[in-house]
Amino acid sequence: MKKNFLYSMVALFVCLFTACSQEEIVSQAGQNDSKVRLSVKVPAAGPIARAALDIEGYTMQCIMELVNTNGEVIADSRQAVTVSNGAAHFEFDKPSEEYTCLFWAEYLKEGKSFYKTSAGLTKISYDGNKKNELFNNTAADAFCGKLASSNIAANVNVILKRPFARIAVSKNDFATLGTGLNQCTASIFSGTDFNVFTGTVASTVNIKNTEIENQATPISIDANSEYPFFCYVFIGEAIAKPSSIIFSNSENSDSKKTLNITAEQMKTMSSNTAVNLKPETGGDNQDKINVDITIENGFENGGGGTGTDTPTDPETPVAVEVGDYLYADGTWGKTAENAVAVVFALAENDATTNYANITFPNNKINGWAVSINQTAKTAWTSDVLTTPIEGMVSSASQDDILGYKNTKAAGNQLAISAYNEWATVTNTSGWYIPAIGQLAILVENATTINTRLAAITDAQQIPPTGTNSNMNFWSSTFNDGTGEATKIYQYQYKSTDLTFTARSEKPSNSAGVIRPILTF
């Protein structure tokens, strides 16, 4: 068997996603505020499970601590809050000195974590009582980040990243070891006493299976899973001893295959990386097998970066602009491909309080976006023709922007099935019928929006190209002026003079199309 090991870096990380699509910490505080308010968003997917935040039996908490310029924890600054809908919110008194916010997001089961943070976020270690639970367990994942006080008022963000390398054996590589292997014991040397402020570890620890009467208790292995073995390891120069993973058959103690990882191989890894252990091919079929290491961008929604151990420094976020494309994950950009909507307003006058039970990323509204298509003609149902809908805004003027509230109040009294089953757009309000004031802004910016829509295959212009007759666009605002209170505002497109005209229409007399919008 070969004595020298191949260390191969197959792929370094891809560039960071645009700042708006990253896990981010964004300040909501003004420069003169005595209070600082931060909203922390953690990754929504993990490297193994597609929805890491939804691990049965576990909740996630985020801890925040403040440190001074020397990295010393500021007394009484620690807060721990439950992560809800992928976000955690903090508020604290602004210290008189310069400071840095440290963050650590982790999974809890019955209030207990896999990591000890009692010594502070500058000295995080494994919980030595967990043992077997540290292997093949997505809930052993965690995320960290930091934000300097000098950047808070500037509304910048910082990436929450995994502080570990995840080492794993893939399904295909596991199959090369042989058949019938269904359990394993491991002895992995990892860094410990991780410091979120510096991104370094101070010493090493041996992660290994629970021992009962000096015998290691194996964990079960599913050969058909995507990764039959994986664990999370703090990486650092302090690692000086080799690691090993022993696979065997529970009914045949002689059937052992051992993967050996040298200390030098461990040091080639970096935080926030996915490392695949590949058994060396060729040579004699011996029990002890050396491995090649492949480092990949295997982490989803939290991967990327430079591969360094230090958490990413703050970056300037990408500001949204009218005419930007909105994508299904609630992010925006300049590329038409995969767009589901187009931004038509920055919504400076809107507020999160207008959206009951909706949590926006960073507790902030960026703008409004209009769908790339509209519904077929639809009418209001007959039971609204005599009485206004309770909770729906009535307005003699045309400045109502509470389309979300109006749509919720209207419920199924308008045939909204034409759009309420459209693809879900996360991190947004979801689709709703625009209020008359929102429609007015959309009409005002229609030329810009139509230019963007032209770049999207099968998108419909506003109004659709080739319209040869009047077309009414429903709003979700009552007209409480003279006449019947149940008249509802529309914008009518007149093909004869290529203009839009605001008017009100009794629902029984007119059908109209809906151009759904959403708030993000």
Would 79 be classed as within a structural domain? yes
Q: At which of 296, 316, 344 does a domain end?
A: 296
What pLDDT is stored for residue 449 in this prediction?
A: 92
- Cβ neighbours of 356 (radius 10 Å): 9
Same domain, residue pair 289 and 387: no
What pLDDT is stored for residue 23 in this prediction?
A: 36
Same domain, residue pair 290 and 375: no
Would 316 be classed as within a structural domain? no
3-state secondary structure of 473: strand
Q: State pTM to two decimals.
A: 0.55
Domain count, the chain: 2
3-state secondary structure of 512: strand
Same domain, residue pair 385 and 242: no
Would 196 be classed as within a structural domain? yes
Q: Which residues, other chains included, contact 146 with Cβ-Cβ below 8 Å and sequence gap of 6+? A: 100, 101, 102, 103, 158, 196, 197, 311
Q: At which of 296, 315, 350 does a domain end?
A: 296
Instruction: Return the axis-axis angle of helices 446-453 and 436-444, rounded to nearest 10°.
Output: 70
Would 311 be classed as within a structural domain? no
Same domain, residue pair 183 and 230: yes
What pLDDT is stored for residue 178 in this prediction?
A: 87
Chain segment 439-490, per-residue pLDDT in tens: 989 988 888 899 999 998 888 888 866 555 678 888 888 876 555 556 788 8
Would 303 be classed as within a structural domain? no
Would 313 be classed as within a structural domain? no
What pLDDT is stored for residue 153 in this prediction?
A: 61
What pLDDT is stored for residue 318 in this prediction?
A: 61
Same domain, residue pair 184 and 53: yes
Same domain, residue pair 329 and 267: no
Q: At which of 275, 296, 317 does a domain end?
A: 296
3-state secondary structure of 153: coil
Same domain, residue pair 268 and 360: no
The H-assigned helical ranges of 92-201 are: 149-152, 171-175
> Which residues is 105 bridged to in the sheet?
62, 143
Chain segment 315-374, per-residue pLDDT in tens: 434 678 899 999 888 888 888 888 899 999 998 889 888 998 888 887 789 999 999 988
AA letter at 19: A
Structure tokens at 85: 């809908």
Would 38 be classed as within a structural domain? yes
Same domain, residue pair 267 and 353: no
d(CA 165, CA 47): 11
d(CA 401, CA 476): 9
69: exposed, middle or buried (C-beta count within 10 Å: 0-12, 13-18, 19+)? exposed
Per-residue pLDDT of the chain (520 residues; tens, 9 = 90+): 333 333 322 222 222 222 222 334 443 433 345 778 777 666 543 333 333 456 888 998 999 999 999 999 999 999 998 887 667 788 888 898 889 999 999 999 988 999 999 999 999 999 988 889 999 999 999 988 888 887 776 555 566 788 999 999 999 999 988 889 999 999 999 999 999 999 899 999 999 999 888 888 999 999 999 999 999 999 988 888 999 999 999 988 778 899 999 999 988 888 888 888 888 755 444 577 665 655 544 454 333 333 333 333 434 346 788 999 998 888 888 888 888 999 999 988 898 889 988 888 877 899 999 999 888 887 766 555 556 677 788 776 778 899 999 888 877 666 555 555 566 788 899 899 999 999 989 988 888 899 999 998 888 888 866 555 678 888 888 876 555 556 788 888 876 666 778 777 776 667 788 889 999 9
Where in the sequence is the domain holding 406, given as residue range(s)? 325-519
**Cα dihedral angle (222, 226, 229, 235), rounded to 10 degrees?**
-170
Same domain, residue pair 446 and 483: yes
Would 309 be classed as within a structural domain? no
Same domain, residue pair 265 and 352: no
What pLDDT is stored for residue 395 in this prediction?
A: 74
- Cβ neighbours of 318 (radius 10 Å): 16
Same domain, residue pair 273 and 378: no
Same domain, residue pair 236 and 379: no
